[in-house]
Amino acid sequence: MGTMEAAASVKPWGQAFKDGLISGSIASAASTAVLSVRGEREADTPYAPTNATSQWVYGEQAAYHDEPSLRHTVIGYGIHHASVTLWAVIYEKWFGKHAERTDASSLGKATAGAAMIAAMACFVDYRLTPRRLRPGFEKRLSRASLFMTYASFGAGLLVRGLTTAGAGSRGNAASGADHRRG
């Protein structure tokens, strides 16, 4: 891919931010659903993994809070949502346009990009981040559950683009057809 082609497949930051708010919300909801299901199965409470993230504010003891609460669940979810949205903006900047196209090559690039962003987020969360600022999921869930969580996050990144894939070309074709008739 040439420099011009690469530049054409990257969104401006403003658009990446707007789209990232949407794809981040979807990815956050998807990964939180997995966290809740896995938390219920492995920690006997769906709130444990989300509460664990509130360790950013309340220290390590927050990772072991099991009941829903404003202090732990809402704060934990807010931190998780903001973090996922940050990664979603990066995804949208570099890969979002590919998800909006209908050809197989673009879908492959969008899927690979989502997987790469999810893997990068996991690497940053567990290899580069100080313990207190890690998600805390690892204190309540198995590695398999962590994999499912990050995989659902990556899958969630794709949804916004896939639901708009081809919409622009259909709209342009319709307006072009109307223009020819007029």
Tell me: the pLDDT tens digits for 34-74? 999 999 999 999 999 999 999 999 999 999 999 999 999 99
In this prediction, residue 6 carries a pLDDT of 61
Angle between the 143-164 and 104-123 helix axes, to the nearest 10 degrees? 140
Whose tokens are 């409470």? That residue is 45
**What is the SS3 assignment for 110?**
helix
The residue-averaged pLDDT of 64-89 equals 98
Q: How far is CA 158 from CA 9, 36, 53, 61, 97, in A?
A: 16, 21, 24, 35, 11
Say what percent of the chain tops pLDDT 90. 84
Instruction: Give the separation between CA 77 and CA 114, rounded to whole angstroms.
Output: 21
Tokens at 39, concatenated: 């938390």
- The residue type at 89: V
pLDDT band of residue 1 (cuts 50, 70, 90) is low
pLDDT over 60 (residue 179): no
Radius of gyration of the chain (CA): 19
Mean pLDDT of the chain: 90
Q: Quote helix, strand, coil % in the chain, to nearest 5.
A: 80, 0, 20
Query: Are the beta carbons of 110 and 92 closer than 8 angstroms?
Result: no
Residues 126-147 have pLDDT tens digits of 999 999 999 999 999 999 999 9
Helix 75-99, helix 143-164: angle, nearest 10: 50
pLDDT for 2 beyond 50: yes
pTM value is 0.87
